Amino acid sequence: MEERNPLSLFFFPFPKKTVNLNCIFFIGLSEIKDLLWKTAMLHICKTQLQGSILITEMYEIIGSHSLHLSLSFLELMRSGRLMSLSVPAGDLNSLLPDEDGRRLYIGMKDYLLSTSLDDITQTPCKIYWPASPDRIQNCIMAGKNLQTDCANFLRVLELYNQTHLYACGTGAFNPRCAEEQMLQYEDTESGKGKCPYDPHQRTATAMIDGELYAGISSDFLSHDTAFIRSLGERHVIRTEQYDSTWLQGAEFVHVAAMSESDNEEDDKVYVFFTERAQEAEGAAGKVLYSRIARVCKNDIGGQRSLVHKWSTFQKARVVCSVPGPDGIQTHFDKLQDIFIQRGKEKKNPLIYGLFTTTSNVLNGSAVCVYRMQDIIRAFKGNFLHREGQQYKWTEYTGKVPYPRPGTCPSSTYGGFKSTREYPDDVIFFSRTHPLMQEVVNPLGGHPLLIRVGVPYKLTRLLVDRVEAVDGQYDVLFIGTDSGLVLKVIHLPKDHSLISVCVCVCVFCLQQWLFAGSAEGVVQLGLFHCDLYGQACAECCLARDPYCTWDGHSCSPYMLTARRRNIRQVNDDGNPLNQSGLQVEAEEKTLVVAVGNSTYLECLPKSHHATVTWFKDVGENSLEQHKLVVIDRGILIPRAELNHGGVYHCQLEEHGFRWTAVTIRLIVWSPTFVSAQPWYQDVMALINHGKLERHCKELSQRHSNKESGNHKHNKQDRKRADRHRHRGGAEKEKGRGRKNRSQMQISAKRLPRSA
């Protein structure tokens, strides 16, 4: 998601069906510091797909707020920066940016594409990598579908080093991997433990120090879900197989390495997933919980037990719920996506989680934020324990062996050089007690953002750190299963906590968002500053961290700019006063006949603004008449004389009030008798320029008609002279005078329209 000049959102034609945003990422991340937040919604862009025409519109805002900026598809097209890349083969699943090589890798069915990261419309390089004919035939004989199962669906894309890409595909239920640039089937290696058999199973991978960490379903039937480390010089290591206390039907979401201390020996790898929770199963049946698990990077398994298995594996529940007034929590238990926002302090990142409900009754999504110290605290807490299958899970109250299970081997803790030197009781305890009692609660104890009762779910999440004059802000970009892209900003509660760090944004002039679905990739800009309006106050009220008032227009904010830009994001201070401008109210005059309907419209550019209508003091109140006050105006179904008056549309946003529109409504009746004809009042309401033009047209028609009458008079006089010479002078003479008199009277008449 990024931009060159003003912001644009880029979409492309899709086939006639719902689009699911499978992957979403952007280029140009800055650094972050731990903050406290409150939510403020900026704007949301919704895409509706109808045949080959893509309609882009702004949709209602999350929560009780509303969108700020509404963009139509035509406006995006006119911006001239709509970039898209369709993939005829379909089933796009993986996107991988290579910022050093300025390339974008796209994994799909039987193909690996490579296109420019700066302009995806450039012709991509294609590598055809199908499954072998024998494997396709075996897949079909196993009862799988030729189109949706028996092909090579690329599911793993990782940068192996600066010159090679490591890719894995399902290979028609026979996963294969390769790291060579020219992918030929005979040059590949087995992908077991690296890539799933089933293309419909979700996979989470990360290449860390030349080793592949993968959360996958590792067997043909997708029963064995495992977290596995492979490649590199060390032996393959994985979670305990077919042990439901470790993993039970896990669906992996994200893998990341995080440092907890200055000691590199204590570095760990975290994996986020959703699984069936044994501790919650009962009469209600299966229950899903979101989890976070971790292992030590230097874990090589045990000596006599847990051989080639993780000996430091631990997991804890991640909670994202809404506290109810009666103490009952509304939980969002299915994890959809994770984004880790790192700052200068690498050990204290913020973790953004995107969750959905698992209930068929309540359909909703939520975003929760977690601090690293809260996660570490959960893993330092007590363990859960169960005596047997017929017993409930309870807190473990016995003695915990030393070194504490989950501790990484290092000189700091007992001088153990590897996990193989751990005592047997430590390895046994790690095997039987992987679950922690304490849960990881979100920052503030509640979700940052909630969306319920809508026909879509939030599925993908990205966060961009933006540097502003008054601090740093995180902007969320959220994808949905129906093709929406949501844009949300966080404002910190306590501005004194902000430590302004001047970051160098490498791609500040080319900030793009890349979104992929099964049919293709789009390149979207992060902001549309020029669409917020031409006034300083409108730009300030937009509160878009990407935009600033430069003295002439609303333009993208650049840290390198040496001008004194006005950029108001937080709630302190009045943007109208900061801009040095006052918003002038638009004045209108409307005329309506008695008994007819009319509509008083007020359309603020900012949909954050609250609209309130007033009449001048002394006028009758709105409630006394049959008026319908709707979201953006007043509807008068049947006008009456007492409806006339001056109406004021007042806007309020973030505590600031101003009058946007003043409407003078005149109600007249054709039967109403006044001192002067009613049409004079109507003519007085016509615009002066239009009235003058109307009078000129009437004068021109009058002149043309008078000229025509004069010509007819000359012809009549000639005929009268001829009749006189023929003896009928007196009769024709009288007739001629009568005709001339009628013509003169007719010529002096004014048109009815005058």
pLDDT digits (tens, 9 = 90+) for 171-228: 999 999 998 665 555 678 999 999 999 999 999 999 999 999 999 999 999 999 999 9
Higher pLDDT, 76 or 6: 76
Residue carrying structure tokens 């199962």: 149
Residue 411 neighbours by CB under 8 Å, 6+ apart: 265
pLDDT digits 0-9 by tens, 255-289: 999 988 888 899 999 999 999 998 887 656 689 99
Q: State which of 287-296, 629-638, 705-714 shows the largest mean pLDDT.
A: 287-296
Q: What mean pLDDT comes out for the span 675-700? A: 57
Among the listed ranges 235-239, 339-343, 614-618, 737-741, which one has the minimum average pLDDT value? 737-741
The answer on pLDDT for 376 being more than 80 is yes
Position 67 scores a pLDDT of 46
Q: What mean pLDDT comes out for the span 450-472? A: 83
pLDDT above 70 coverage of the chain, percent: 67
The pTM of the full predicted model, rounded to 2 decimals, is 0.71
Where residue 57 falls among pLDDT bands split at 50, 70, 90?
very low
- Angstrom distances, CA of residue 335 to CA of 178, 197, 288, 592: 30, 22, 10, 57
Position 698 scores a pLDDT of 65
Position 238 scores a pLDDT of 97
Among the listed ranges 137-151, 285-299, 466-480, which one has the minimum average pLDDT value? 466-480
Q: Nearest Cα to 466, choosing from 458, 457, 476? A: 476
Q: State which of 83-97, 135-149, 520-534 shows the largest mean pLDDT.
A: 135-149
Cα–Cα distance for residue pair 690/635, rounded to 1 Å: 28
pLDDT above 90 coverage of the chain, percent: 37
Where residue 433 falls among pLDDT bands split at 50, 70, 90?
very high
Give the angle 134-135-139 at the CA atoms, nearest 5°: 120
Position 411 scores a pLDDT of 79
640: tokens are: 């009456």
Among the listed ranges 30-39, 374-383, 490-499, which one has the minimum average pLDDT value? 30-39
pLDDT digits 0-9 by tens, 401-427: 999 999 999 877 777 889 999 999 999
Residue 431 neighbours by CB under 8 Å, 6+ apart: 240, 305, 306
Residue carrying structure tokens 């068929």: 360
Higher pLDDT, 571 or 169: 169
pLDDT digits 0-9 by tens, 534-584: 777 777 777 778 888 877 888 887 654 333 344 445 444 455 555 544 566
Q: What mean pLDDT comes out for the span 662-675? A: 75
Mean pLDDT of the chain: 75
The answer on pLDDT for 651 being more than 60 is yes
The answer on pLDDT for 303 being more than 70 is yes
Cα–Cα distance for residue pair 749/754, rounded to 1 Å: 10
Residue type, 162: Q
On whether the CB atoms of residues 271 and 213 are closer than 8 A, the answer is yes
Residue 527 neighbours by CB under 8 Å, 6+ apart: 3, 6, 7, 511, 544, 546, 547, 556
Among the listed ranges 299-308, 362-371, 518-527, 617-626, which one has the minimum average pLDDT value? 617-626
Q: What mean pLDDT comes out for the span 30-54? A: 26
Among the listed ranges 120-134, 348-362, 523-537, which one has the minimum average pLDDT value? 523-537
Where residue 28 falls among pLDDT bands split at 50, 70, 90?
very low
Cα–Cα distance for residue pair 747/462, rounded to 1 Å: 79
On whether the CB atoms of residues 527 and 6 are closer than 8 A, the answer is yes
Residues composing the chain: 754
- DSSP result, 683-722: HHHS-HHHHHHHHHHHHHHHHHHHHHHHHHHHHHHHHHHH
Residue type, 694: H
Give me the helices (H) in 464-622, please: 536-542, 575-578
Higher pLDDT, 506 or 393: 393
Position 455 scores a pLDDT of 82
Position 390 scores a pLDDT of 78
